[in-house]
Chains A and B, each alone.
Chain A
Amino acid sequence: MSLVKKTRGVGDGGLAANLGRRLVLIVPYAWLILFFAIPFLIVVKISISVQRDGRPPYEPVFELADGFIGAWESVQKFSMESYAAIYADRIYGDAYISSVWIAALATLCTLLIGYPLALAMARAPRRWRSLLIVLAVAPFWTSFLIRIYAWIVILKDEGLLNHALISTGLISEPIHIYATQGAVLIGIVYSYLPFMILPLYNALEKQDTALVEAALDLGATPFAAFRQITWPLSMRGVIAGCLLVFIPAVGEYVIPDLLGSDEVLMIGRSLWDEFSTARNWPGAAAVATVLLVLLLVPIVAYQRSHLQTHGAAR
């Protein structure tokens, strides 16, 4: 393969250079294994542990001093208790379903808002485009918390929106949006919009505008041209954008906590409550494991979409 050959040709830089070349890969690789992969294994391990009072608040705990026999005794303490609890308690199932539902709905809304915006940006005169990109991404650089806070100020019963609507006489009673599922949706859409716009813009900007013209020329109405040409050709961007919004949104904690209420069930909050309020670490770990399994397919799909664009293009 030409790939391998190329590497070899460049890599003949003596021992020191070869070592350097290896370190460049090994250090970040090892870092991610240590601080990302292994912690997940520990989550799985603790999810089959049992809650107890003390530090740490779970058992078994492996100590070197216990020796082999002690370790074996500890292993026997593992149990599926936490998973059984998740299965038995309807609140978890509801929270998972509701999280996926809210995230899916928010993803759809983000797509509906983001697509026209990304399309308009991609079709704008060339000299505007880099400015438009900066404008679309800039809110992402401002604090996430602050942006959620801004919506509290706007959506509260006595907030700016109701104040404005009442003072213009459009409504007499405040609309109740804050602390509802609607507010959570708005918060997710608002926070994640840049993540949707960027991949969409990248996909749309690459499209040759002559393709749409060719479709129009061949008798397609503007809508037909969009449906048959623009949309299918932007599919890769649509998928990447949707996954980029959907996956983190399912596990979102801050937005439902600040903009929602206890009635807006989301699994991120359940996990948090389990962990900090109930101090049930095995329970929280089990909730996290199930969530991870749930998200495995979209996460792998997301990685594959990147592997296709970057990995293969190399």
Chain B
Amino acid sequence: MKPRFSFGMIAILLAGFAFLYVPIGLLILYSFNASRLVTVWGGFSTRWYVELFSNAQLLTSTLTSLEIAFVSASLSVLLGTCAAYALARSGAFAGRTAFFALIYAPLVMPEVITGLALLLFFVAIGIERGFWTVVLAHSTVGMCFATVVIHARLAEFDMTLEEAAMDLGARPIEAFWLVTLPICAPAMVAAFLLAFTLSLDDFVLASFTSGPGSTTLPMRIYSQVRLGVSPQINAISTLMIATVAILLLVARLLTGARAGK
């Protein structure tokens, strides 16, 4: 009935989550460090944030990254919804296994391989690299994540609901619009956020597929990190973590409010 939850289990949870969160916590803490040295606490200060906002290059890259993330996440959800719907509803079709393979391969494929392949593809067909090539790369990987998330939701929802709607006189398109889509909405929001963060976070694919003028934020951060640690990076990191945290919270509130009804 009520299995007792032992202290050993609690200790494991505490240790595990400490491992996951202490590094991030330290990062945030030291972003408010007045000292330039990362290891010495020199008092509370927001000077790194001020410096950050005067770094024009960084701000441009941030904007580029956000634009790419928005466009590619939208495309990912659009394509992912189609793919998930096809997987869940089309029954057995020729090449279903191949389609499945194409959906799942990009999830685990080492990014250097995907990145190189896309780059060589763009060069071969003669597309100039830039904003849109990064969007294409991110959408391709993002749509696979979106498919998995949305398919999970579709698979657990009762197909007979849609049939019931059609039985009551809805045409297939209407049934999809009135029944399936609202049920999938939370999963689509989750898929969008996932694709958005993946894009915002990606360094490897972007470095292969971006061109001059489309340097993304992770590419800037990467080159800075390679130069050595600096409190400024801590400050960007903190801002990014805060953004994601707020986004997640909003999404949770939105989907939670829906589910509660």
Q: What is the interface of chain A, defined by CB distance below 8 A to chain B?
A: 1, 3-4, 6-7, 9-11, 13-14, 16-17, 20-21, 23-25, 27-29, 31-33, 35-40, 42-43, 46, 56, 113, 116-117, 119-121, 123-125, 132, 134-136, 138-139, 141-154, 156, 158-160, 163, 190, 193, 209, 243-244, 247-248, 250-254, 257-258, 268, 271-272, 275, 281, 284-285, 288, 291-292, 295, 299-300, 302-303, 306-307, 310-311, 313-314
Interfacial residues of chain B within 200-241, with CB under 8 A of chain A in the complex? 200-201, 203-204, 218, 221-222, 225-226, 229, 233-234, 236-237, 240-241
Count of chain B residues with a beta carbon within 8 Å of a chain A beta carbon = 96
0/1 per residue, B1-31, Cβ < 8 Å to A?
0010100011011001101110110110010
Which residues of chain A come closer than 8 Å to B23, judged between CB atoms? Answer: 147, 150-151, 154, 190
Residue in B closest to A163 when the chains form the complex, CB atoms: B39
On whether the beta carbons of B108 and A247 are closer than 8 Å, the reply is yes
Q: B39 contacts A160, CB within 8 Å?
A: yes
Give A25 Cβ to nearest chain B Cβ, in Å.
4
10 tightest A-B CB contacts, nearest first: A251-B110, A39-B117, A39-B121, A28-B83, A117-B16, A25-B86, A13-B172, A7-B91, A150-B23, A146-B237
B181 at the interface (CB under 8 A from A): no
- Bound together, the chains give a CA A161 to CA B3 distance in angstroms of 38
* Any A CB within 8 A of the CB of B179: no
Are the CB atoms of A142 and B24 closer together than 8 Å? yes
The prevalent SS among residues of B at the interface is: helix
| Interface-centre pick from B12, B110, B140 (highest chain A CB count, 10 A) | B110
Min CB–CB distance B76 → chain A (angstroms): 10
In the bound complex, CA of A119 to CA of B6 (Å): 12
Of B43-51, B53-61, B99-107, which stretch is located at the interface? B99-107
Identify whether the interface residues of A are mostly helix, strand, loop, or mixed.
Answer: helix
| Contacting pair B171 A42 (CB below 8 A) | no
A15 to B80: give the CA distance in the assembly, Å.
24
Q: How far, in whole Å, are A244 and B107 apart by their CA atoms in the complex?
A: 8
Cβ contacts B127-166/A at 8 Å (1 or 0 each) = 0000000001101100110010001100100010011001
Measured CB to CB, the nearest residue on chain B to A282 is: B120
Q: Is the CB of A141 within 8 A of B244?
A: yes
Q: Is the CB of A160 within 8 A of B26?
A: yes
- Cβ contacts under 8 Å, A152 to chain B: 225, 229
| Contact, CB under 8 Å: B108 / A1 | no
Q: Is B184 on the interface with A (CB-CB < 8 A)?
A: no
Instruction: Say yes or no: A288 contacts B13, CB within 8 Å.
Output: no
